[in-house]
Amino acid sequence: MLVEISKLKLNLGAHAVLRDVNLTLQKGQIYGLLGPNGAGKSTTISVVTGLRAPTSGSVRVLGLDPAADALHLHSRIGVLAEQAGFYDWMSAGDYLLWVARLYQKNLDKPGIARLMGRVGLDGQSPAPIDTYSRGMRQRLGLARALINQPELLILDEPTNGLDPRGRREIHDVLLDLSVNQGVGILLCTHLLDDVDRLCTRIGIIAQGRTLLEGSIADLLSAQRAAVRYRLRVEAGEAAQQLPAEITLLARAGDWWHVEIASHIEPASAWRKLLYSGIRIDEIHREGGGLEELYLAVTEAKEAA
């Protein structure tokens, strides 16, 4: 287990910031930590990274107590904070060399160039950081987090400021790290699309409490949440021919609005639809699923 948090409480002065946070992250997993602003996500990260000591509860990261063994922990994790700041007067290459030395890593200039290429900053090493765009700074922050080949990567809004292609490239880097190198990734984000694409496990926290934690498939199934799609099909097909997994919500010409139960693999549903003789030209996901689940859970908490 890379991260194991149980019944975490943290008081800052008289104010209880974290009341009951639980989280487990295994090697090679990407964990999405979700929650509204002020829910306690960043504070949880500060406890995980050893910057704050918990008031009570148990926190183990890479088998270590973060508060007691922060130095050792920091050499084995990589963090991209939400506000990724650098020494803007340095060139990106010099900056990463400096960070590498701080981590006692013997990286040379070609090694830095390779690292930068990996996050999509090929040939940008000599450029001063203050000439970087927001998206480039985000990539540089990711390169910084990867400099010590971490076992655990903690990312706070890593795709902020990136265009769709940039986001896709970062997704690919993270999936490669997780699948091929067994790096565990704790991902804090507001972008459910990122979570949907990357994460196998999520935790939703609000007002300092974990409201829900588990694998996405299990949670969606338990919540009976359904995912909505918009399909363009061949005209004239009858709705009665739909397989049981698919519920037709509305029909407007060639466009069908359908819903699939979240525990059902969408590909198998489309396959059955095709076998039933309905030709599908386009599929668009419209909502439901994780988004519905997130809204349902957080709204219920607010109402309570």
Torsion sign across C-alpha atoms 207, 210, 216, 219: negative
The residues that bridge with 287 in the sheet, in sequence order, are 228
- Is the Cβ of residue 139 or residue 301 nearer to other proteins in the bound state? 139
- Half-sphere exposure of 269 toward its Cβ, with a 13 Å CA cutoff? 21
Least separation in angstroms between residue 78's CB and other proteins is 9
Least separation in angstroms between residue 31's CB and other proteins is 18
Q: Which residue has the tokens 């270590």?
A: 64
What are the φ and ψ backbone dihedral angles of 290, each rounded to 5 degrees? Answer: -60, -40
- Is the Cβ of residue 15 or residue 250 nearer to other proteins in the bound state? 15
Least separation in angstroms between residue 150's CB and other proteins is 11
3-state helix, strand, coil in the chain (%, to 5): 35, 30, 35
- Is the Cβ of residue 7 or residue 103 nearer to other proteins in the bound state? 103
Q: What's the rounded Cα separation, in Å, for the pair 229 and 284?
A: 5
- Is the Cβ of residue 83 or residue 240 nearer to other proteins in the bound state? 83
Q: Burial, 120: exposed, middle or buried (Cβ in 10 Å; 0-12, 13-18, 19+)?
A: buried
Closest-CA residue to 84 (of 150, 159, 148): 159
With contact defined as beta carbons under 8 Å apart, do 208 and 20 qualify?
A: yes
The residues that bridge with 11 in the sheet, in sequence order, are 16
- Is the Cβ of residue 90 or residue 280 nearer to other proteins in the bound state? 90
- Is the Cβ of residue 126 or residue 182 nearer to other proteins in the bound state? 126
Least separation in angstroms between residue 214's CB and other proteins is 28
Strand, coil or helix: what is 267?
Answer: helix
Task: Name the helix (H) or strand (E) containing 290.
Answer: helix 289-303
Least separation in angstroms between residue 13's CB and other proteins is 11
Structure tokens, 288: 């439901």
- Is the Cβ of residue 123 or residue 236 nearer to other proteins in the bound state? 123
Least separation in angstroms between residue 237's CB and other proteins is 55
What are the φ and ψ backbone dihedral angles of 127, each rounded to 5 degrees? Answer: -70, 135
User: How distant, in Å, are the alpha carbons of 36, 136, 156, 161 from that of 42?
Assistant: 11, 23, 8, 19
- Is the Cβ of residue 72 or residue 271 nearer to other proteins in the bound state? 72
With contact defined as beta carbons under 8 Å apart, do 115 and 146 qualify?
A: yes
Residues of this chain that interact with other proteins (CB under 8 A) are: 46, 49, 51-52, 71-72, 74-75, 77, 79, 81, 83-91, 98-99, 101-104, 126-128, 144
